[in-house]
Homo-oligomer: A and B are copies of this chain.
Amino acid sequence: MGETGGIVFDAGRLEEFARRVFVQFGVRAADAEEAARILSLADLRGIDSHGIARLHAYSRMLDKGRINPAPEMTIVRETPGTATVDGDNGLGLIVGPWANRLAMEKAETVGTGWVAVRGSNHFGIAGYYVLEALERDQLGWAMTNTTKIVAPMWGAERMLGTNPIAIAFPGCEEPPIVIDMASPAAAYGKIEMAIREDKSIPEGWAIDRDGVPTTEPNEMADGGAMLPLGSTREQGGHKGYCLGAMIDLLSGVLSGANWGPFAPVFTTEFEEPPRRVGIGLGHLFGAMRIDAFIDPDEFKRQVDDWIRTFRQTKPAPGTDGPIIPGDPEREAESVRRESGIPLVAAVVEDLREVAEISGVPFD
């Protein structure tokens, strides 16, 4: 049994399974390899909801022909520093890396590159893309809109996705600062876990189908909604709503994708949105060459100093003091590379179903 009480699998084995499943559904070899690597990275970094657990939803969508396994990405508009890409309804794990590389190439040329993407699908962890940028001494930005599940402040229904944003800053001797956060108060995975364990959830996470705050996770799942970061007007919930809206407008509207409540679903289990306002799901990738702004060595030394300074913050009572964004994921990775990925029974069952649908053996 693993750290969370699940069955433990070797990360490489899960990645290989995912790769073969993607290939089986018609994904090109190199794309399948990268797509599987993105899922594996999520598992290694402890972001269980975005790892191999998603393979079931991807497989169903591929199996039903609702996602294109071999998309031909096209640039529909372009300047030296920007582009808009149509992802040909491809797997987001293929379209995202392609568009992110385009942003980084533009940054090589003119210092910064920004690529909006439409016609895509769920792209995995946003953190993957910004870690890629670090390899080139660039600051990467990644954001995406997602299927509606969050209510805007003062709203009583789902209008926005969990809309994550990621950005990373390299240190010199210290590991990088990696920010990868969704815009609601809590992760949906935590609500799912509370349902599985028959527990209540904290106030501030969710409302029921009438818009009334609830601590019953089932009331959220049953037509309720999650709350934006800040939760209530008094605690700044309007700012969490602004953050989610900003990411939606940049990912969905600027690219010509669907936005807000019309963002496409990522699994066959969800109902299609009532109206189409654009093409597929949207992302925005940004890349900034560090040396376009400052000497990279100087920058990294300052990031080291920043990290050490913040680690030395006087701790709040009962805590060990502030952590640096990216710490928990890096610690998870160092444990899981050694000891494997713990999967809950429901996910293992899903993977057996994936094996059945795809014909790729799991056990």
Chain A interface residues toward B at CB < 8 A: 77, 79-82, 84, 107, 109-114, 116, 139, 151-157, 159, 167, 169, 177, 179, 181-186, 202, 204-205, 207, 210-212, 229-231, 234-236, 238-243, 245-246, 248-250, 253-256, 259-261, 277-278, 288-290, 292-294, 298-299, 302-303, 305-306, 309-310, 313-317, 319-323, 325
Contacts and interface: CB of A to CB of B under 8 A. Distances in A.
Nearest to A316: B211
A317 B202 contact: no
B157 A313 contact: yes
Given A111-B80, A211-B315, A211-B317, A229 B239 contact: yes
Number of copies of this protein chain within its complex: 2
Contacts of A183: 239
Contacts of A81: 80-81, 107, 110-113, 292
Given A110-B79, A229-B230, A230-B185, A259 B306 contact: yes
A157 B82 CA distance: 41
A320 B152 CA distance: 12
Given A156-B315, A254-B299, A256-B294, 15 more contacts: A82-B112, A112-B114, A139-B250, A151-B313, A152-B310, A169-B249, A177-B245, A179-B242, A181-B238, A230-B240, A238-B325, A243-B243, A254-B294, A256-B302, A278-B302
Nearest to A300: B253
Contact of A309 (B260, B288, B319, B323): B260
B239 A152 contact: no
Contacts of A299: 253-254
Contacts of A77: 292-294
B169 A316 contact: no
11 contacts: A80-B81, A152-B310, A154-B316, A179-B245, A181-B239, A185-B236, A229-B229, A230-B236, A238-B325, A259-B306, A277-B302
A303 B259 CA distance: 10
A253 B325 contact: no
A298 B250 CA distance: 14
Given A110-B79, A110-B110, A292-B79, A317 B230 contact: no
Contacts of A322: 152-155, 159, 241
Contacts of A278: 302
A210 B317 contact: yes
A306 B260 contact: yes
Contacts of A302: 253, 256, 259, 277-278
